[in-house]
Each structure stands twice: as structure tokens, then as C-alpha cells.
A and B are shown apart, each in its own frame.
Chain A
Amino acid sequence: MAAARRNPWVPVAGLAALAAWPLVEPALPASLQVGEPLTEVFIYAILALGLNVLTGFTGLLNLGVAAFAAIGAYAYSIATCEVYPFQLGFWPALAVTGAIGALAGFALGAPTLRVRGDYLAIVTLGFGEIVKDVLVNLDAITKGTQGINPLPPPSLLGTPLEARGQYWLYLGFVVATFVGVRALERSRVGRAWISIREDELASRAMGIRPDRAKMLAFATCAALAALSGALLVSRLSSSGEPSNYGFEVSIIALCIVIVGGIGSVRGTLLGAFVMVGMNSIVLVRLTEVLGSGAEGMAAAAPAADAGMLAHAWHFVRTWAHNVLLTPTNWKFLLFGLALVLMMVFRPQGILPPRAVHEDPPQPVPPGSEGVRA
């Protein structure tokens, strides 16, 4: 698989299809219209591309990437909302947001350079929880659970954009992020990141300064996550409640990166479509299609002297009525099952990166006898 060459036309065709989608969509039957969730895919894609820099390229597991998105969302909200003194426009506010995000990345990255592996994972997780709590608790500044609104919509050349314009703008951001991250990957610093992931000691010996490279990775990840947060809130016109940037968001972002193919930029992009699409399109449609079969299942209890079988049947019917026949009750299960199955059948992800070398050297996984022999 290492040598698999990819058809350069696939991404071009994909991009063309995505760009044309808003024009095609209205012509399709209602049931094929997807609309909104695609913009959500774009936002998650930017978040995950950022995470991929830190976790995919540099090998630092981050379970709190939503915190950077939250910082971005609030930075953007405070910079633009009419109730604060700044009231910047869309583009200047984005620039400020990116800078604040990068600073936040430094702030978390610097003190934790010594912390490694899963210990780092929980530090980032904790950071995520702290940021969320601080945003709720400091309601004098952040308005707490009220959320900050209204926010100006995204604009281009001074014209506020409506849904379709936002779609294209956000698609543009995804493309720019994609190209940027690809360029970074191939740059000096990108190669430094990958070499740190593969072997920190060896890369140090080669003259790479791991601390600096790691800090840069943190800052890049945080800036992109902050950008995604800003794009999210400007579209919703509200910062929402801080609880919207919780652990679940971090987990979804991580799943996107890993399901897509950890370390692979294309994979991450595809992962965003698969994961968010599954969540916001397929599962939603599925439950709509199935409707609720529960109503017909309510039944009177059988007489006390009825047979065992009658009682058992009533038990099952009532259970089905209570939960089983309501399709929304299956969402967690389908979502989880899909994750497990994807990993079991394609542990390397959908589009793994073109392997530079074999898997990163790590303690030999148990059960793979003889690997080291």
C-alpha cells in the first residue's frame, strides 16, 4: 500500500462536486437535500485538520481540542458582538481569533512539554474541562450560559453572506486549510514534526529542536481549532453555551482524525465527511425513515392466570413499546458500532498516509509474537 499512487483528479472532482452542490441541491427531491450539515462538516474538517497536525503529525494525543475551539468561539464573539467595545468586522476578528488561539496553544504547550503520552492526553482533557468551566463561571465577561449574541454573519468584501455564500466561503476555508496543512507537512517544520513522532531521540540527534517543533504544533493546532470555533459561531450568530464545546466535540474530532487515517491530511478531510455525515445526515435520515413503530405495541396486561408465554410476550411488547421501537433510541448504538467496526476492519483508517516507514516504533503490541525476534 505504501506505493499506492493516487489519482490527482479525485480531489479536483470532489471539490467541483462540493462547489456545485448548492446549485444542484434545490433541483433534487426533498429527501436528497442535505443542506446545513455540510457546512457543519466543513467546520469539523478544519478542527480535525488542526488536530491532525498535533496528534497525527507530531504524535501528541490531544483529548481537549474543543477547548481551543471554545477559545476561538469566545474570542470571535467578544471581538464582534455589539455589546462589547471592540466590534470588529468578520475578517479582522478572524485574524485576532487565530492569534489568540495560537497563544492559547503556546500557553498549554509550553508548561507541558515534559508530559508525554497518555499523561499528556489527560492534561489536554483537563485543559478542555477547565476552559469550559471558566467560560461558564466567569459570566461577567463571557455571559456564562446566556451565550453571546448576536454576532455579525460572515462577510466578503463588506457584503454579509447568506447561507449559500457561507457555504462557499467555508468550503474555501477548508480548501485553504487543506492546502496549508499539506504545505506544512512537506515543509521543514512538518518533517520535524513527523520525525518527532517517529523517534524523538533520533530527531534530536539530527539537530531538530523537539521543544520548539512541539510548541509550533500546539500553536498551529490551536489556531486552526480557534478558526473553526469562530466560523461556527459566526454562522450560528451566537456563541451558544460553553457546554457546547465539551469533551464530546474533542472526541468527535479525534475520531475523525483516526477514522480518516491518522496523520493523513486527505484522510482527515474524508473522515470529517464520514463521521459528521454519519451523525448529522445518515442517522437523522435513518430515524426519519423508520419512524416510530412503538405506538401499536402498547397492550393491556394479560390476565394473571394467562400462560407463561403470554406474560413473556407482554413483557417483550411493553419493552419494545418503551424503548426498542423508537429509532432515536438506537443512535448511540449505531454510532458506536460504526466506530468499532471501522476500526476492526480498517484499523489504519480510511485513507492512511503514504507510509514514510513502518508504524512508529512503540512497545511491541502484545500478541504479535515474533515481531522483534
Chain B
Amino acid sequence: MLRAAAAADQLAILALARADSLPAFASDGVLSSSEVFSQQLVTGLSNGMIIALIAIGYTMVYGIVELINFAHGDLCMLGAFFALTAVGAFALEGAGGAGGTAGLVALLLATAAFCGALNWSINRLAYRPLRSASKLSLLVSAIGASFVLVNLGLFWGGLPMEVFAGGTSAAAPKAFPALVEPKPAFTVGDVIVSRPDVLVLAVTVPLMLALTWLVRFTKLGKAMRAVAQNPTAASLMGIDVERVIGATFFIGGALGGFATVVYSIYNQTVGFQMGYRMGMDAFIAAVLGGIGNLPGAVLGGLVIGVVRAMSDGYVEARWTNAIVFGLLILILVFRPSGLLGAKLREKV
């Protein structure tokens, strides 16, 4: 996990370094071919890191309860509405300087807490009663929960607040204010590394490190690994399995909360149907890396982000989804349990 985070970091730095080493072309606004490549890489890594952050929460839950959590993306969507409401209620927009930074940190923490609590509650209401049922029943329950969350997002968008444009068109996408302005943090030639790009890095990497620490070195982390390994044995060792599962849902949701704030600032849009793509990307990333495998999820997210960007840039945007899924299938055909996943245990 640690290694993967470091690798991600290195990749990002590499991208910047590569941009640095480019000869500076005349800034005529038209990109040269190597600038195009670097710019696409920056875009791909930023998008990939956001996907990775969502995917970690996703894959954590999977590791423990083996649930393809269809509601995860929609949970993030509600987190985005929560964040937007908070931005409106506390007038976070336009608060610059230290106050702005403090506001941003508070927003990240509050949204994480909200998403964590919500995910915990969904587990209590929709998944826990199904613990002994088949995995597929759990899956349908998650699908149902996802529909409910989508509808709550629709209601939320109708709140008569200024940030929701008075709420008169609840279903329409809402603009999320650029709390971190989309201005270049620095440019190399015509390659732009924007401040939101930096924000993505600044939020994601520490979180990944913290999570690694949590899973590796804390008592809760140990308990989580034990439950993932064998819940019965874990409970026999005195671990309160349900509590650990609840905590996992909380942490997974909280990571989604962080991710959704970063996502919203980066894309400046929230809408009640945005969860579909968020969840789908996270699912692909998690599977690509090997479900239940945290470094795998990060790697998967980065791969998807970069492949998407390159496909948009060098193939055609209309083929991007097919290329991403084609690659996924190809990888799974040759590595049936993902890039970093352990070989599935064949029964003996």
C-alpha cells in the first residue's frame, strides 16, 4: 500500500519533471506534440487519483463483506450535495487566504464525516439484515439503496438555496464554486498544471498514507484484516465482527467524502446522476487492481485515468469507454484476479 502510494507520488512527480525538461515553446496557445502528451498525462493522473480515492473506499468494503457496492458512487454524490450546501450556508466561496484554507479543510472533514455516517447507516439498514443471505441478495439491496440515494439527491437539489439556483430545476446539474481556482499553479511551455491538480495530489497522497497506517499498524486495522480473512475465526478471537464491519463502512464512506469534495472542486459540477460514473470508475479501478486490494485500487485508478486521457487525446473520445473496458477484459483474461490481486483460492 505504502509502496503504491509512493509510486503514485513518483509518477506524478515524473510527469512534472518531464514537463519541466521540455524546451519552452513560444506561448502561442497552440500545443506542440510533446506538450500535448504531458498535458494529457497530467490530466490523466489527476483524474486517476480521484478515481483511486473513491476506489479505495469501495474496495475496502468489498474486502470485508464481498459486496459490489453499487451505492458507493451515489453516496459520493450525496456527499457532493452536502458539501455544496455547506459552501452555501457558510459562504465558503470567496473566502481567500488562511480563512479559505481553513474552510476547505473543515469542508473536507465535515463531508467525510457525513459520508462515513451515511455509509454506516446504509449498512445498518440495508446490508446488515442480509448478512447471512446470499451475496446476490446483498447486491440487489445495494442496487435498491443506490436508487434511494439518487432520489434523495434529486430532492436535495430542489432546496431553495442560492447555491442550488433557488432549487427551481432540481434535476439540473449545479455549479460547484471553484474553492480552489482553476488557475495554473505553474505552466511549462503551454502545459498547465492547475491549482486543482495540485489539490488532488495534496489530499490524496496523505490520505492514502494515513489509510495504510491505519490498516497496517492499528488495532482496528488488524481487526479489519482478520475479519476480511475469516469472519468466523475473527469472532472466535473476540473481535466484534459487526463493529468492525460498521467501522469499515464508515471509513470507506469517509474516503468517498474526501474524494467527492476534491472531485467537485476539480470538476465544478454536482448533479444527482453523477454517482453512476463515479461508482462505475471506482468499480473498474478496484477490479483492475484486484478487488479488496488497496494498492491495487490506487494502481487501477491511475491506469484508468491515464488510459482515458490518452484515448481521448490520441484515439477518439467516442471509443474511450470501449477501450477502457476492452483493456479491463484483456487484463482479466490474462490475470483473472486483477493486476495485484491474490490468486483466487481454489477450493481444496
Contacts and interface: CB of A to CB of B under 8 A. Distances in A.
Do A and B interact directly, with beta carbons closer than 8 Å? yes
Contact of B167 (A118, A262, A323, A369): A323
Interface in B132-152: 132-141, 143-152
Nearest to B272: A332
A184 B62 CA distance: 34
Interface string A350-373: 000000000110111111111111
A113 B307 CA distance: 26
B158 interface: yes
Interface stretch (B11-19, B87-95, B180-188, B230-238): B230-238
Interface in A76-120: 111-112, 114-119
Contacts of A348: 133-134, 137
A295 interface: no
B120 interface: no
A329 interface: yes
Contact of B137 (A115, A347, A362): A347
Nearest to A360: B134
B219 interface: no
Contacts of A117: 344
A251 to B, nearest CB: 6
A371 B321 CA distance: 43
A262 B134 contact: yes
Contact of A126 (B68, B146, B326): B326
A344 B126 contact: yes
A315 B160 contact: yes
B289 to A, nearest CB: 12
A136 B321 CA distance: 12
A175 interface: no
Nearest to B273: A332
Interface string B55-83: 00000001011101000000000000000
B126 A340 contact: yes
Nearest to A255: B140
A331 B150 CA distance: 10
A161 interface: no
Interface string A285-324: 0000000000000000000000000000001001100111
A371 B137 contact: no
Contacts of B346: 201
Interface string B157-188: 11110000001101000000000000000000
Interface in B232-272: 232, 234-236, 241-242, 245
Contacts of A127: 325, 329
B130 interface: yes
A318 B160 contact: yes
B291 interface: yes
A133 B245 contact: no
Contacts of B314: none
Among B136, B283, B291, the most chain A Cβ lie within 10 Å of the Cβ of B136
Contacts of A269: none
A134 interface: yes
A344 B141 contact: yes
A123 B140 contact: no
B51 to A, nearest CB: 15
Nearest to B130: A347
A128 to B, nearest CB: 9
B134 A333 contact: no
A116 B336 contact: yes
Contacts of B326: 126, 130
A319 B170 CA distance: 10
B310 interface: no
A258 B139 CA distance: 9
A338 B144 contact: yes
B158 A115 contact: no
Contacts of B150: 332, 336
B129 interface: yes
A367 B318 contact: no
B220 interface: no
A119 B148 contact: no
B131 to A, nearest CB: 4
Interface string B207-245: 000000000000000000001001110111000011001
B91 to A, nearest CB: 18
A131 B19 CA distance: 37
B129 A344 contact: yes
Contacts of A373: 232, 236
A318 B155 CA distance: 12
B68 A121 contact: yes
Given A348-B137, A366-B241, A116 B344 contact: yes
Contacts of A330: 151
A363 B333 contact: no
B241 A323 contact: no
A130 B330 CA distance: 13
A330 B167 CA distance: 16
B328 interface: yes
Nearest to B144: A339
Nearest to A121: B68
A340 B148 contact: yes
11 contacts: A117-B344, A127-B329, A130-B325, A262-B134, A318-B167, A322-B168, A324-B158, A343-B133, A343-B140, A366-B241, A373-B236
Interface of A: 55, 61, 111-112, 114-119, 121-123, 125-127, 129-130, 133-134, 136-137, 199-201, 251, 254-255, 258-259, 262, 315, 318-319, 322-324, 329-333, 335-344, 347-349, 359-360, 362-373
List the 6 shortest-distance A-B pairs measured between CB atoms, nearest first. Answer: A336-B147, A339-B144, A323-B158, A366-B231, A126-B325, A347-B133
Given A258-B136, A344-B129, A369-B232, 12 more contacts: A118-B66, A123-B329, A123-B333, A126-B328, A262-B136, A319-B159, A331-B151, A333-B151, A339-B144, A341-B144, A343-B130, A367-B231
